[in-house]
Amino acid sequence: MTAAVATPGARTDWLAVTVVVASGIVAALQVGKAAIAMPLVQAEFGLDLGTLGWLASIFAVLGMVGGIPVGTLAIGLGARRVLLLGLLAVAVGAFLGAAAPRFPMLLASRVLEGFGFLLITIAGPAMLQRVASPAQRDIAMALWSCFMPTGIALAMLAGLWLTDWRMIWRVTGALAVVAIVLTVLTVPNPSGGTRPSWSALAGDAGAVLSARGPLLLGLTFALYALMFFALFSFLPVLLMQRMQVSLATAGLLGALASAVNIIGNLTAGMLLARGVSRVSLIIAASLVMGLSAIGIFLGLLPDTATFLLCALFSMVGGIIPATLLSSAPVLAPTAALTPVVVGLLMQGSNLGQVVGPVAIGGVIEALGWPSAAGLVSGAAVLAIVTALGLRGMRRRAA
């Protein structure tokens, strides 16, 4: 199949790259806002932590099964259309959530937001391949890999100024509308190439699902997301209860802990460029995350040390998603199927986003904060096992 991509002599459209990355950040704001809003939503609706975990988890429900279909959709309909549709879904979901009178209606709006997030996070990389020249495509993808920690950090910073969770929802919805306008004005609509048939797209999905490498990548991403969101979905609550700080201070500390994840993303790119093994990076990062979680949740350390472990957990953990995303074209059955493999990775990521907050909220509610250490460290061990399964694997066909 063919696609409209930048030719070897083409220049990178950095304005379009900036808008696409900004759209990813807008999508990530929808993830981060749930964490900073949890204490406010809990106070308004009188929820326990187990129920409250669904505020973060239900966001990713559609993504658990929709990653591969959306990956094929990005090929069939075009990445720009899918990107715009995702931003529209985020905007509508955010405004509906802001007006929700009951918690079940808020959860329903989160499903729509999650659908938009899925569309954006799969269409974004596909769009960057079209507006970036081959020589600068790695730079563009490195910038893209930072969208999630950037968006989460910015959302948590909102706690410094916005003390009404409904206002946070309205602001994020408005930003999605701005992103729609900027995308229409600045991101080109590539033409050329022949659209593949839907039967061919179904065959592409089957080829990815039958390949061992992409499946292991998706499972590893699921375990990483479970670990990351098990902590960060409840980080403001943890900081407020453990350190006795205000919501604004918890938001600031949470933003800092989220932002250092960017360091891990960029470090992974540099290490991979120097030939460091992908498997070694995943194993080392998973080990650090698992050990850090034990120190964080057992509550045996002073407050400052506990927060520093949260930052270490995030920073080193950032190595994993960047490594996995860069592995998608390496382990795709063919280069043309990379968007479908990215869809599978997002499916794994969403699975972890669903399981992590609900599981951690449930065990904390039943057994207290120390019980979360076993859940996260267990996921770290499983991530190491799946990473070992990737040893020696290469792309089957170019």
Domain CATH for 305:
1.20.1250.20
Exposed (0-12), middle (13-18) or buried (19+): which is 274, by Cβ within 10 Å?
Answer: exposed
pLDDT tens sequence across 144-186: 888 988 998 888 787 677 778 899 999 999 999 999 999 999 9
- Our CA angle for 208, 30, 74, nearest 5°, is 30
Task: Name the more confident of 125 and 75.
Answer: 125
Q: Examine the pLDDT at 8 and tell me if it is beyond 70.
A: no
What is the phi/psi pair of residue 211, to 5°? Answer: -95, 130
CA distance 120 to 114: 10
Please report whether residue 393 resides in a domain: no
For residue 8, being part of any structural domain is answered with no
Residue 2 within any structural domain of the chain: no
Among the residues of 299-337, which ranges form H helices?
303-317, 319-331
pLDDT at residue 281, rounded to an integer: 94
Q: Are 226 and 386 in contact (CB under 8 A)?
A: no
Neighbours of 309 (CB within 10 A): 21
Give me the pLDDT at residue 330, please.
Answer: 81
Q: How far apart are CA 301 and CA 307, in angstroms?
A: 10
Position 229 scores a pLDDT of: 84
Q: Band the pLDDT of 203: cuts 50, 70, 90.
A: confident
Provide the token pair at 114.
């999650």
Give the lowest-confidence range in 44-48, 68-72, 121-125.
68-72
The pLDDT-based confidence of 1 (bands split at 50, 70, 90) is very low
- Tell me how far apart the alpha carbons of residues 384 and 282 are, in angstroms, rounded to a whole number: 7
Residue 103's domain comprises 14-187+195-388
Residue 1 belongs to a domain? no
Q: What value does the mean pLDDT take over residues 360-366?
A: 81
Alpha carbons 159 and 252: distance in angstroms, whole number: 8
Return the HEC string of 203-256.
HHHHHHHCCHHHHHHHHHHHHHHHHHHHHHCCHHHHHHHHHCCCHHHHHHHHHH
> For the chain, how big is the Rg over CA atoms in Å?
20
Number of domains in the chain: 1
